[in-house]
Amino acid sequence: MRRFFVLGYLLLLGAATAFAATVGTIAGTVVDDVSGTPLPGVNVLVVELGIGGSSDLSGDYYIENVPVGRYTVKATMIGYKAVTTQDVRIIMDQTARINIRMEESFVQGQEVVVTAERPMVDKDVTVKKMVRTAEEIQNLPVRDLTEMLTLQSGIIQVKSAEYGIPGFEDRGIEQIHVRGGRSGEIGYTIDGMYIENPIYGGIGKGTRINKYAVRELEVQTGVFSAEYGDAMSSIVNNISFTGGADYEAKLTLEGSNLGPVAQQNDRLRNYQKIAGRFSGPVIPGSGDKFTFSISGDMTTGAYRVLNLDDKVYDPNNIGGQQNNANAVNWLDRNSGFRSFGFDDTYDVFTKLHWRIDNYKQMNLTYWFVNSEFKVYDRNYQYYEEGKNVNRKWSERWNLEFRQQLNKKTYYTISAARFTQQMKMSVENGDMDGDGYPDWVEFKAGTEARGLHMGQEYHGECDIPFINKENPGATITADSLEKYYQSWGPGCIPTKIKYFARDSDADPYDAGTEMTIPVGEPIVIGKWDKVKILDNSLQSFNQFRNGYLIIPLDSMEYTDDRGESRFWHYGDPMNQWLQQGQYASVQYHTFPDSTYDLYFSPPTGVMTAADIQAMRDSLYYIYYYEYFSGGADRYRHWTKSVTDEIKIDLTSRINKNHQLRGGIDFKRHFITFDEAQLPWLADPYVEVYGLPDSIKRDNWLEEFLYGTGEKMPLELGAYVQDKIEYPWMTINVGLRVDMQNSQDTSWADPRASWSGLTPSDWKILWSPRLGISHVITDRATFTFGYGRFYQNPTYRNIYLNDQGDLTTASPIVGNAHVQAEKASAYEFGLNYQFADFWRLGLVGWSKDYSDLASTERVKAFPYNYSVVVNYDYGSARGLDLTLEKRGGSAWSMVVQYTLSRATANRADAWQGYRNTDTPESMPKKEVLMNYDRTHNITTTAGYFFDKKNNPMILGIRPLSNSNVNFTLIAMSGAPYTPYDINLSRYGATNSQRMPWYIEANLAYRKFINLMGVKWSAGVIVRNVFNFENVIDIYEETGSATDPGRLNEQAINDGALSTTYFDRPYYFSDPRQIDVTLEASF
């Protein structure tokens, strides 16, 4: 097997691919302007590239291998005037038809110049396809390319806190659904090369590419050709910008915080952006022979700004009626807008282009992304310090070589390495500034916030209490009868067991039991520790670290390598918590004088007055609502390295057949290291593929086989014929995909005793067919069919590959799962019903099978869940597009999708969360929570020149400016209604939330000054300030009414009104950013 792999890998290193090159074709017919007779032998040249062709006996010509962009095409022939056609736009994988009429000329050098117009109906496009230019991307009111993507109807991004896929937001993974499919069914590429995350699928914050790096964004939905694999719903191609013969530069600044003139939420949002691009020849004056382009984008700001209600806790009304009437949590001290978390990302994209000669070129690109963010989490609303910070890095190198062998044939070879890493961990800190890190105080049981019972407090009643002035621990009290509550177990007689040792390298002794009376000091040696033996303390919630005390001046912990370490007072703090520094999450009560009444009433029995006093104090009833200490439940590190090599060969066999074929090879190195509840002595860990766990003999073996990482392999190949006639274009192709996870799993995933068997190569065939039939010069009919496969995410394959079933709710991956499958059909009509207007209609149908799922297996002695291919679904829909382009100063695209998405489950892990067994798992399709029956999107733009704008007081203030507008309107998300007893009284997802409507606007004014083009403007998101509902209470269907059961809990003192103050159930309010741009 190893010998086969080495041989195959080295062969593929020299040749392999699957995605199409980012080029198109220019074709047309040359005729005599008077007689219409075809003209053979006419030379047709792409001026900027120096490549071309000549017309045949029928006057037809073809120019292959033309990169995406805009060009000038020149036709020349002796005895005829030269014809120059300007602004010929090349779109990836499409044929630009430039028909040429030539006039006879008896004077040499005469020329006719025309400007090409892109047809409203592309006659060779067989699928629904939307192409966005760099100008649109940069001018529309969008912040990133994901927002550009969701401007196409039928593409939905879910941002719900309650209905989103658990863990996706924390991990920075975008949840995007296309045409009723599950999240993660999109194939993303840059210049045809893979940029997805093989562990989780899809893209997210770690794979943001800045807007200035992209020349065109191409989105194909539905039935795409055989060139594309590992996707079931859509292909998104980012075509990168290439530098030209002249130096060009753009610099953009955006911001929301304009001080007192800004809205409060914009000040708190504090959005800041600096982005731009610089390009041109590497050597000045050398033209476009050797060019560069470098672009970047750095954005910072709050992760979320929420508008909290006006009910707040009044610290001056303790024991009174106001706080009781409001029933607010004592931590709730602020009303109005408040910012949470942060979101800081920067990325750099660099491209070197070398045009070796007219028929050979090479591109080298480098892309780096760094994203650091902390999401909003309701549990940490009053203690953000304990929430994880997510850090994601991505780095990608790509080398592409393209050569045109002759006028009909060219090939492209590409090789890329794409590295992605993600770390989730808690920042170290010292909230009370006493020199002791918070984790030390949490583990020792002292109060890290520095406040207790409303007074400054630094652990005076804890065992041990250490500060700069007092190196020992003193237990004090006003009297033996009075016990003061504290976060440590101090201020009460305490039974302990004292463990001594001489140094950190020595073992502890057997321990000595003793009782520490109130007021008696105890000094704990530097290397010693104390264990509290009073089990009764647990009921007081006064200590949460297993009753094991290590002195504050010498705290023992394990580092990230699992080695024992000591922290000493005065040591510098690491930026991030180490493995053994995590403490369990804690809850912050509000102790007051009634605390003693609760535990030790004077009469031994609580009176009605005592109970009322406690209720008025509010401190005890909202104990478990919000975290106040400890650390997040995850420690996480993942890394993937994807090596991809591919070659694509294209040849025009004759004027009717363009044949293309290719092979694509991908190899992943995957590492996963996660601990849940890391403060436990035996936390739940998910670890596999650790690097450096296997020693190789040399660097070549390390490169070929890795050093212990999981190493799945993927191989794809296709052949496709583009058949072109004046009345029809047919894309017919066949694709084969092979995948091997190179791991072992149980032969029967539902029988843990069935023994381990190695994974094998899974071979899948995908036929594709696309037809565009020309009805008239202005109308086409399209039809498409395809079978599509997508590899399961590798986390679902390698999860718990040791088969440990002793943990709580164990789940096991499966190396034998198959690729997910979709079969799709679509038909369409494209009709140019007037000059500059087009109407498109597409009906489509998709059926899913073998979707990844999890099911519960009942077995002795342990029940467990396992990943299998069980789930299924379907989607049906109708797309309508109305486009206005050219002819005047404005343009518009309106899209509408009517659809229905059903399946038995919404995502692969839903069965695990619901503990579904083969008997209890859903047996029929139901409406999915990501279904949106109606989805409308609109993009529109208008340019005001010197005349077409209103005159005010003799001037035209809007002259030389533009306004761009976007609209997204969709049906609300479905939900399942429940009654007061939390019993379902309607069918699954039988009710819907209100419609979601968001309108955005960008206005820019342009001026030229000293050779620089300046623009200043404003970007307004959610112009009409709609409060769009994205989450609801299922009992009421409302985002503000929690329902009768919850109201009763509030009245009974079991829950606070603060707990139901949930502004995150609504979309963001109106946001206003200002922008300034300079370019030359």
Asked if residue 39 has pLDDT above 90, the reply is yes
* Sequential DSSP letters for 228-250: --S-SSEEEEEEEP---SS-EEE
Hey, where are the domains in the chain? 2-115, 128-233, 249-303+341-426+633-1079, 438-580
Alpha-carbon distance of 441 to 458, in angstroms, equals 9
- Helix, coil or strand: residue 1047: helix
Identify the residue whose tokens are 């520790």: 529
pLDDT of residue 489: 41
pLDDT of residue 614: 58
Alpha-carbon distance of 359 to 403, in angstroms, equals 6
pLDDT of residue 323: 77
Reported as a pLDDT band with limits 50, 70 and 90, residue 780 is very high
Nearby residues of 162 by Cβ (< 8 Å), 6 or more positions away: 1031
Alpha-carbon distance of 934 to 844, in angstroms, equals 15
- Helix, coil or strand: residue 704: helix
pLDDT of residue 247: 95
Mean of pLDDT values over 594-601: 49
Reported as a pLDDT band with limits 50, 70 and 90, residue 612 is low
Mean of pLDDT values over 530-551: 45
Alpha-carbon distance of 476 to 301, in angstroms, equals 47
Mean of pLDDT values over 692-721: 92
Mean of pLDDT values over 611-619: 55
Listed range (166-175, 622-631, 666-675, 830-839) with the worst mean pLDDT? 622-631
Q: Identify which of 909, 791, 799 has the alpha carbon closest to the alpha carbon of residue 198.
A: 791
Dihedral sign for Cα 1043, 1045, 1051, 1054, please.
Answer: negative
Alpha-carbon distance of 732 to 722, in angstroms, equals 7
Reported as a pLDDT band with limits 50, 70 and 90, residue 222 is confident
Alpha-carbon distance of 745 to 869, in angstroms, equals 14
Mean of pLDDT values over 84-102: 90
Give rounded-to-5 percent helix, strand, coil for the chain: 10, 45, 45
Are 1063 and 1018 within 8 A, CB to CB? no
Asked if residue 946 has pLDDT above 90, the reply is no
Look at strands 837-857 and 864-884 and give their pairing. antiparallel
**Average pLDDT over all residues of the chain:** 86
Reported as a pLDDT band with limits 50, 70 and 90, residue 628 is confident
pLDDT of residue 473: 34
Reported as a pLDDT band with limits 50, 70 and 90, residue 1039 is very high
Task: Pick the most confident of 77-81, 912-916, 1024-1028.
Answer: 1024-1028
pLDDT of residue 79: 86
pLDDT of residue 182: 94
Say whether the peptide bond before residue 437 is cis (omega within 30 degrees of 0): no
pLDDT of residue 465: 40
pLDDT of residue 27: 92
pLDDT of residue 378: 93
- Cα distances from 356 to residues 199, 289, 362, 841, in angstroms, run 38, 7, 7, 44
pLDDT of residue 520: 56
Tokens at 468, concatenated? 């700069």
Distance between alpha carbon 1 and the CA centroid of its chain, in Å? Answer: 37
Asked if residue 935 has pLDDT above 50, the reply is yes
Tokens at 71, concatenated? 């060009």
Domain 128-233 maps to which CATH number in 3.90.550.10, 3.40.980.10, 2.170.130.10, 2.60.40.1230? 2.170.130.10
pLDDT of residue 983: 80
Alpha-carbon distance of 138 to 134, in angstroms, equals 6
Task: Pick the most confident of 15-24, 301-310, 646-655, 915-924.
Answer: 301-310
pLDDT of residue 587: 78
Alpha-carbon distance of 273 to 257, in angstroms, equals 11
Task: Pick the most confident of 283-297, 323-337, 476-490.
Answer: 283-297
Reported as a pLDDT band with limits 50, 70 and 90, residue 324 is confident
Look at strands 811-812 and 864-884 and give their pairing. parallel
pLDDT of residue 464: 46
pLDDT of residue 652: 92
Reported as a pLDDT band with limits 50, 70 and 90, residue 449 is low
Reported as a pLDDT band with limits 50, 70 and 90, residue 452 is very low
Are 200 and 207 within 8 A, CB to CB? no
Neighbours of 245 (CB within 10 A): 13
Asked if residue 1 has pLDDT above 50, the reply is no
pLDDT of residue 577: 94
Dihedral sign for Cα 859, 861, 866, 871, please.
Answer: positive
Are 931 and 989 within 8 A, CB to CB? yes
Alpha-carbon distance of 137 to 547, in angstroms, equals 59
pLDDT of residue 5: 39
Alpha-carbon distance of 870 to 207, in angstroms, equals 31
- pLDDT tens, 718-761? 999 999 998 999 999 999 999 999 999 999 999 999 999 999 99
Dihedral sign for Cα 325, 330, 335, 341, please.
Answer: negative
Q: 249-303+341-426+633-1079 belongs to which CATH class? A: mainly beta
Query: Which DSSP state fits 1050?
Result: H
Asked if residue 422 has pLDDT above 60, the reply is yes
pLDDT of residue 535: 43
Tokens at 483, concatenated? 């016990």
Look at strands 634-654 and 627-629 and give their pairing. unpaired
Alpha-carbon distance of 381 to 185, in angstroms, equals 33
Mean of pLDDT values over 1025-1045: 93
- Cα distances from 532 to residues 507, 514, 568, in angstroms, run 19, 10, 22
pLDDT of residue 486: 30
Look at strands 186-190 and 234-240 and give their pairing. parallel
Q: Identify which of 424, 432, 277, 272 has the alpha carbon closest to the alpha carbon of residue 343.
A: 272
Query: Which DSSP state fits 1075?
Result: E
Reported as a pLDDT band with limits 50, 70 and 90, residue 602 is low
Reported as a pLDDT band with limits 50, 70 and 90, residue 447 is low
- pLDDT tens, 99-145? 999 999 877 777 888 887 888 888 888 888 888 999 999 999 999 99
Tokens at 488, concatenated? 């440590």
Alpha-carbon distance of 965 to 136, in angstroms, equals 11
- pLDDT tens, 62-72? 999 898 889 99
- Cα distances from 545 to residues 488, 489, 530, 742, in angstroms, run 10, 11, 12, 42
Alpha-carbon distance of 12 to 530, in angstroms, equals 63
Reported as a pLDDT band with limits 50, 70 and 90, residue 998 is very high
Q: Identify which of 637, 496, 651, 658 has the alpha carbon closest to the alpha carbon of residue 578.
A: 637
Beta bridge partners, 881, equal 840, 895
Beta bridge partners, 345, equal 299, 371
Mean of pLDDT values over 332-351: 95
CATH level 3 topology of 2-115:
Immunoglobulin-like (2.60.40)
Report the chain's C-alpha Rg in angstroms.
Answer: 33
Tokens at 682, concatenated? 């035996």
Nearby residues of 607 by Cβ (< 8 Å), 6 or more positions away: 601
Listed range (471-485, 677-691, 921-935) with the worst mean pLDDT? 471-485
Alpha-carbon distance of 620 to 329, in angstroms, equals 10
* Alpha helix positions (H), 199-285: 264-269
Mean of pLDDT values over 177-205: 92
Q: Can you give the length of the chain in residues?
A: 1080
Reported as a pLDDT band with limits 50, 70 and 90, residue 15 is very low
Mean of pLDDT values over 380-393: 94
Percentage with pLDDT > 70 across the chain: 86
Alpha-carbon distance of 731 to 124, in angstroms, equals 9
Tokens at 90, concatenated? 């090349």
Q: Identify which of 122, 72, 127 has the alpha carbon closest to the alpha carbon of residue 100.
A: 72
Asked if residue 476 has pLDDT above 50, the reply is no
Alpha-carbon distance of 532 to 496, in angstroms, equals 4
Largest CA distance in the chain: 122
Query: Which DSSP state fits 38?
Result: B
> What angle is formed at CA 625 by the lines to CA 622 and CA 629, rounded to 5 degrees?
110
Mean of pLDDT values over 867-892: 94
Are 398 and 190 within 8 A, CB to CB? yes
Asked if residue 291 has pLDDT above 80, the reply is yes
pLDDT of residue 172: 92
pLDDT of residue 475: 33
* Alpha helix positions (H), 96-166: 134-139, 145-149
Alpha-carbon distance of 1024 to 1069, in angstroms, equals 9
Tokens at 283, concatenated? 């050597």
pLDDT of residue 481: 27
pLDDT of residue 597: 46
Phi, psi dihedral angles at 497 (to 5 degrees)? -125, 120
Mean of pLDDT values over 240-245: 93
Alpha-carbon distance of 594 to 583, in angstroms, equals 29
Beta bridge partners, 63, equal 26
Asked if residue 179 has pLDDT above 90, the reply is yes
* Residue scoring higher pLDDT (493 or 1036): 1036
Asked if residue 480 has pLDDT above 50, the reply is no
Tokens at 732, concatenated? 């017919």
* Sequential DSSP letters for 864-894: EEEEEEEEEEEEEEEEEEEEE-SSSSEEEEE
